[in-house]
Amino acid sequence: MTIGTHSGIAAAVVVAMLAAAPAAVAMTPAAEAIFARVKATNQINTICRDMGSVRTAVTKATRDLLRENVLSGSPRPDAQAAGRHILENCGRL
């Protein structure tokens, strides 16, 4: 499964992770894939208390998914959405 159309990822994939977003917006399939990878590889309720840890985990998950061809293109908005979801739901995941 490939999501997107262009290859590559910026080093700062989650720089604006906390940018304002509409509440209760469903995540895209790419954002869900990133979230699922972060959740599968981290103690999510521990890392969610530290924005730097979330940023690191989301960036690593995004790069791994790009390398595995699960994601393609520029997944920055999806990575930001996954990061926001983690931070906004800390303690409930």
- Domain membership flag for residue 74: yes
Averaged pLDDT, 50-75: 96
Cβ atoms < 10 Å from Cβ of 14: 22
Residue 75: alpha-carbon gap to chain centroid:
9
Residue 75 lies in a domain: yes
- Name the most confidently modeled range: 18-22, 25-29, 40-44: 40-44
Domain membership of residue 22 (yes or no) is: no
Residue 16, in any domain of the structure: no
In terms of Cα–Cα distance, which of 3, 8, 7, 14 is closest to 59? 14
Helices within 1-93 (DSSP H only): 29-41, 44-47, 51-67, 76-88
Burial class (CB in 10 A: 0-12, 13-18, 19+), 49: exposed
Phi, psi of 8 (to 5 degrees): 110, 160
Residue 9: per-residue pLDDT: 41
Assess if residue 18 is contained within a domain.
no
* Closest by CA position to 20, among listed 75, 88, 92, 66: 88
| Average pLDDT along the chain | 81
Question: How large is the average pLDDT for residues 17-36?
Answer: 74
Q: Name the band, by pLDDT with cuts 50, 70 and 90, for residue 4.
A: low
pLDDT score recorded for residue 24: 55
Residue 51's pLDDT is what?
92
Name the residue range of residue 54's domain.
29-88
The structural domain count of the chain equals 1
Average pLDDT over residues 53-73: 96
Mean of the pLDDT values across residues 59-83? 96
> Would 69 be classed as within a structural domain?
yes
The answer as to whether 45 is a domain residue is yes
Tell me whether residue 66 is in a domain: yes
